[in-house]
Structure 1
């Protein structure tokens, strides 16, 4: 009995000494600010039902930066005292209260831990720490205002503020990341035996948090036996346990589990600090600028005189509207023309109707400009094709009047495109007669035309025609060739025509025998078939022996035995005819000759023609032949 009492007394003495040492250690290691309420860990007889205390520290850490505004928060620290008892002690002892101190930040009451880490009702809870940051002034710069405008805003820790618009621009407010650190530790651990410690980091904000870093310091005589994390990695560095959590999504929890083994029987402090990268605030200021693009489309080849449509498209590929857009086009709109406003992403199509008026290569240049944008230029090279006709007319330089004249016409295309609808026109000389199928046309037409169709580049078309020139002197033939898109070409050929008097003598004797008692009629015709007047024409009719002229008509004449000498004919115009008649009787039957001679002075002409006439004896009624009358029977 006495022995039992002695053992009980020794145990009470050891416990009293342990409490005294613990209180001394706690007093020397913690500086508690005045006025700060210190939570008390419950008695050791309650540790069996709640081996861990959850200390929940909700501290938005870091600095929220917007332009010139800065919020700075000191690094939070959680200092928790742990009671170490000898390994031989019973688990239930009467231990005086252990004081848990909070450094640097006042404790805020009435904050509960997350449901997943809600400890037993007997656990001691440390309230979240809130930095004393209340009013921050932000400056926002907008394009519409030349001077920065200050917009005051009240920021509650860990609270999101939406962007607001003001007449001066856009105000955007930031916030400090809200990270909650919770430690779960046993109030008492045994010397030489591992005990489980947990540190939990919770992102209670609505944004991803970067670079969460947790550090806890241990005495040299407390060793780390095991280490496990759900996020990142943890290691012992220079006597500190460092946990690099890294990224922590909104609402996510990271857990760090440690097994610590104390080597000495005395209380120690588990001091936990953490940092986090502040959430940066990026305010985007939109800068707008129009950016014009120009395209020019149209045919690359045109025919001279042809009209084609060219299209100019002006597109605004920038992010700002283009106002008072000016378009210049050469040739055509060199001075520029306003096409109005083009919205961002919009375009305008302009159609130009251009007529090719110059053959060869040419360039169409377009330029478009607007305020705040460099002028944009575009160029389009085109080739204007044109047929080039060459007209060549060949004809005699000299010709006699009335003789056919042949003309040769050559039409060549020396251009670079086809000559279409080629037409050759001619104006004949005065008095000329066009020969059709070798015969002169009945009507006198001076204007003639031929349609020869198409002449390819480098090709030559040749044709001929004939006419009769009747006028003396220079006879001018005028030719002209025309074609679509081709320049008209002309040519002239002059033929010098010499006129002649072409006299023809025709003598007509009686158609049958003539009785001697009857007069024989001879007709003499003098015709001028030339183109000039014949002057000084003399005509003489001579008869053979036995025939004498009796009388003449058509021209006065002198009758002498056996011949008739007509008075000289002064002139016979071209195409005119003079008719002379001679009446004669024969006094001797048989065949008798008549000879007519024509002598012209201008031109000098001599024509002779002879005819034979058969004269019969005169008719008688005595013993003569029976005469028949045309009306009936003979007698």
Structure 2
């Protein structure tokens, strides 16, 4: 009705999910209609005059969230009787259309669980853990374990799909066959060129045996040879159940040195054991044996232990045979009357292991005693002395016995001296004895008779008729003369040798 107030309601609805910004509602009114008031649920209002043709009512909402409604109530009074058209339009800031796309990506990581130190030859269990820490599934995953020994083939296993955030474990059994640092390499690959690698070092501990044997370079037959045996663990783990064997050279005989050792194989092999040998530890043994065969003798020493450990060493000794002469003199057991013969026996024995050649023996008497006979070898007699030459050869263990008979011309203590020379050996032996010659009544009567005293003739003519005859000799070079007064023993061919050994 003209002149009567009417209420018109305008509702704005944001049906989208995105808020409308800087929203303004424009309501166009004719000039013959008056606006008495307005009520809004939000925002502000304003009437803008536009002349007699009409006016515009502004509703400024500003921000209108998505899926919300707001209301405007206008109180209008028409002044003319004609149709009342309300033209409504709106304006807001244009919104940009934006979509968020999530890109999924798998991320592989590989780690190993297990000991970082292992023993050689012992099986150890390791666990490879393959994780997908990304936000996408890893598909067609294959893990490959690289070979530990050059020349071996890699080992691969198909894992399949590993969902995002999940992990799979693969158990691997390894047996180390090389001592020292060992590197385990593994790689995991998935579709899309995704991969993870692993390189872990572990220490493989193993014992390492070393054997050394030292002995004399030259040894004489029958003498005791001492060998020093050293075993050492140069590895990084204890050596268990250590077993040692020493092979005695042919003709050798074990004497002593190693506690708990036992002889086997008819005495040609010596064995002993040690429970364990820690790293860097060294043990030393002394082995004593005799060697009876001339030539090169090889002593071989072997050492073994658990885990297929072995070591060996050998040393060579040159064994030489040598002659060793000894002189024993047997003189009269008691005093001897003048005019009677005194018997002196020389035993020349070779206690060595080689024949003695070039042996020469001599017997000397102090003034007042003269030799009358000799036997046992070719000889030459001169005043106060007998020279035996061309004795021998004397075999090992052999003995030559020489006998010299003499008479005293004057009573008293008289000295007998025996010497043995062997120039090839550089040997000079000597032995002295003292014999008391005394004058009884019979010998005094015989002494009053004239008798020639000069040097005894060569050969057996001067020998006692009851003694065996000696073969004719070729006269040797003359011996040095005796000194005046008390007879001194003449110089001998062995004067340039070592001082004589004197047995009394």
TM-score by length of 2: 0.52
Q: Corresponding residue for 1:355?
A: 176
Query: Residue 340 of structure 1: CA displacement?
Result: 4.7
Q: Corresponding residue for 2:466?
A: none
Q: Corresponding residue for 1:116?
A: none
Alpha-carbon contact 1:291-1:373 (below 8 Å) kept: no
Measured in 2, the distance between the counterparts of 1:606 and 1:474 equals: 30
Matched, 1:218 2:29: yes
Alpha-carbon contact 1:514-1:520 (below 8 Å) kept: no
1:365 to 174, 181, 185: 185
Measured in 2, the distance between the counterparts of 1:525 and 1:209 equals: 139
Query: Residue 220 of structure 1: CA displacement?
Result: 3.7
Query: Residue 531 of structure 1: CA displacement?
Result: 3.7
CA deviations over 1:478-503 (Å, ceiling 9, x no partner): 56788999996666554544432111
Matched, 1:239 2:157: no
Q: Corresponding residue for 2:128?
A: 312
Alpha-carbon contact 1:389-1:486 (below 8 Å) kept: no
Measured in 2, the distance between the counterparts of 1:399 and 1:309 equals: 57
Query: Residue 379 of structure 1: CA displacement?
Result: 3.4
Query: Residue 436 of structure 1: CA displacement?
Result: 6.7
Query: Residue 477 of structure 1: CA displacement?
Result: 5.1
Q: Corresponding residue for 2:147?
A: 331
Q: What does residue range 172-183 of structure 1 map to in structure 2 within 5 Å?
A: none
Alpha-carbon contact 1:225-1:260 (below 8 Å) kept: yes
Measured in 1, the distance between the counterparts of 2:343 and 2:141 equals: 107
Distance change (3 Å), C-alpha of 1:266 and 1:473: same
CA deviations over 1:38-58 (Å, ceiling 9, x no partner): xxxxxxxxxxxxxxxxxxxxx
Distance change (3 Å), C-alpha of 1:603 and 1:240: same
Alpha-carbon contact 2:213-2:228 (below 8 Å) kept: yes
Q: How many residues align?
A: 404
1:610 to 429, 432, 439: 432
1:229 to 16, 40, 43: 40
Query: Residue 347 of structure 1: CA displacement?
Result: 1.1
Measured in 1, the distance between the counterparts of 2:283 and 2:168 equals: 56
Distance change (3 Å), C-alpha of 1:539 and 1:219: same
2:193 to 371, 374, 378: 374
Q: Corresponding residue for 2:465?
A: none
Alpha-carbon contact 2:110-2:130 (below 8 Å) kept: yes
Pick which of 528-537 and 403-412 moved more: 403-412
Alpha-carbon contact 2:335-2:436 (below 8 Å) kept: yes
TM-score by length of 1: 0.44
For structure 1, list consecutive stretches of 5 or more residues without a partner in the other structure: 1-82, 86-187, 190-194, 277-281, 619-635
Query: Residue 380 of structure 1: CA displacement?
Result: 0.8
Pick which of 285-294 and 225-234 moved more: 285-294
Distance change (3 Å), C-alpha of 1:253 and 1:594: same
Query: Residue 331 of structure 1: CA displacement?
Result: 0.9
Measured in 2, the distance between the counterparts of 1:223 and 1:524 equals: 176
Alpha-carbon contact 1:539-1:596 (below 8 Å) kept: yes
Alpha-carbon contact 1:586-1:615 (below 8 Å) kept: no
Distance change (3 Å), C-alpha of 1:309 and 1:590: farther
Measured in 1, the distance between the counterparts of 2:357 and 2:278 equals: 54
Query: Residue 435 of structure 1: CA displacement?
Result: 8.3
RMSD: 6.6
Q: What does residue range 161-310 of structure 1 map to in structure 2 within 5 Å?
A: 188-189=4-5, 197-199=8-10, 211=20, 216-222=27-33, 224=35, 226-231=37-42, 239=56, 241-242=58-59, 244=61, 246-247=64-65, 254-260=70-76, 268-270=84-86, 292-297=108-113, 309-310=125-126
Q: What does residue range 89-168 of structure 1 map to in structure 2 within 5 Å?
A: none
Distance change (3 Å), C-alpha of 1:225 and 1:482: farther
Distance change (3 Å), C-alpha of 1:260 and 1:487: farther
Distance change (3 Å), C-alpha of 1:200 and 1:428: same
Query: Residue 330 of structure 1: CA displacement?
Result: 1.1
